[in-house]
Amino acid sequence: MTSFVLVALVAQLCGSLDERGESRPRHYVFFSHEHHRIAESSFLTHEQIAGAQLKYTWRELEPERDRYALQPLRHHLALLQRHGKRLFVQLQDVTFSDRIPVPDYLLTDTVFGGGAARKLEEDGAGRPRFSGWVARRWDPAVRARFIKLIEVLATELDGRIEGLVIPETAIGFNDPERHPPGFSFEGYVEGLREIMTAARRAFSRSCVILYANFIPGEWLPGSDKGYLRAVYAHADSIGAGVGGPDVLPHRKGQLNHSYPLIARRRKGVVAGVAVQDGNLGEKNPATGARVTVDEVYRFATDYLETDYIFWGTEEPYYSREILPYLRNLRTRAR
């Protein structure tokens, strides 16, 4: 099957909202791990919100090797379906705290090289600091287990959930002297491509979106090794969706990296972006004023042309600004 035919097929199944008679973009609430909040009436009765994006860690879904704990996910899906809402599953193999996202057997079996690695980011003085954990995506043995989990989820959920989100590609590791065992920049990119391919093959009806924001080993535009561009080119070729975990219209880093690649993606390839904590606290450097929900929405819609926006629940923005803004979207469109 040619890449053109594959992309066209994927667009028909999961992503072409216009073909499904739905307006673009579709709005979801990113409740993260606060799964209980999908029962809130302000969410369930909101006509402009299509559904929820919920985060599940690898450890939660596979607490022991080959034993999968999907009942909580089934429960959340059933509740949403009863109220006409849809579900995006964010399959978390990376954290930004000391919580390890992978099952214990990956940590103890030497075949998996430790299973996960500590992420290091530079602070303002250029010193490395601990910033969480990431599964060894570059390790074929670990990757094979992650792909098996994706396949297990797809067997039950493909076509029943709106989509699967694989979290961000930015993991630090820019300094080669601090690389975990077996890590290389090229190996990491190849691992991401393999995960995307497997997820797209497993989920033939639901969307698959990779949050491809930054890749270690390069910093655009000055140091362009082609890593991030290769990830986007592969997504285009197989019909996998793309996006990112933040909507920051004035950040040079994002404007030089993922945003133009999202905007230039192949027609029919879906995109989803998340408005997360801190995004609505940003200031427009030209005016000094805090960005508005409308500014974020217009950037995501007009420039990025996203199919999905995942709105975070950071207060006071969620209750005072996001929910009322979305409620009035239909009125403004008339």
Q: How far apart are CA 186 and CA 284, in angstroms?
A: 36
Structural domain count of the chain: 1
- In this prediction, residues 151-171 reach a mean pLDDT of 97
Would the pLDDT of 33 be above 80? Answer: yes
Q: What is the CATH number of the domain that holds 185?
A: 3.20.20.80
Q: Could you report the per-residue pLDDT of 101-147, keeping only the tens digit for each?
A: 999 999 999 999 999 999 877 776 767 788 899 999 999 999 999 99
Which spans in 171-250 are helix H?
185-202, 227-238
Would the pLDDT of 227 be above 80? Answer: yes
Report pLDDT for 125. Answer: 72
How many percent of the chain have pLDDT more than 70? 91
Instruction: Kindly state the helix (H) or strand (E) to which residue 30 belongs, with its residue range.
Output: strand 26-32
Residue of higher predicted confidence among 5 and 57: 57
Would the pLDDT of 75 be above 80? Answer: yes
Residue 204 three-state SS = coil
Would the pLDDT of 1 be above 60? Answer: no
- In this prediction, residues 52-66 reach a mean pLDDT of 98
Tell me the CA distances in angstroms from 231 to 66, 91, 197, one per residue in order: 29, 19, 11
- In this prediction, residues 25-37 reach a mean pLDDT of 97
Which residue matches tokens 């989920």? 203
| pLDDT confidence bin for 298, thresholds 50/70/90 | very high
Q: Could you report the per-residue pLDDT of 95-104, keeping only the tens digit for each?
A: 999 999 999 9
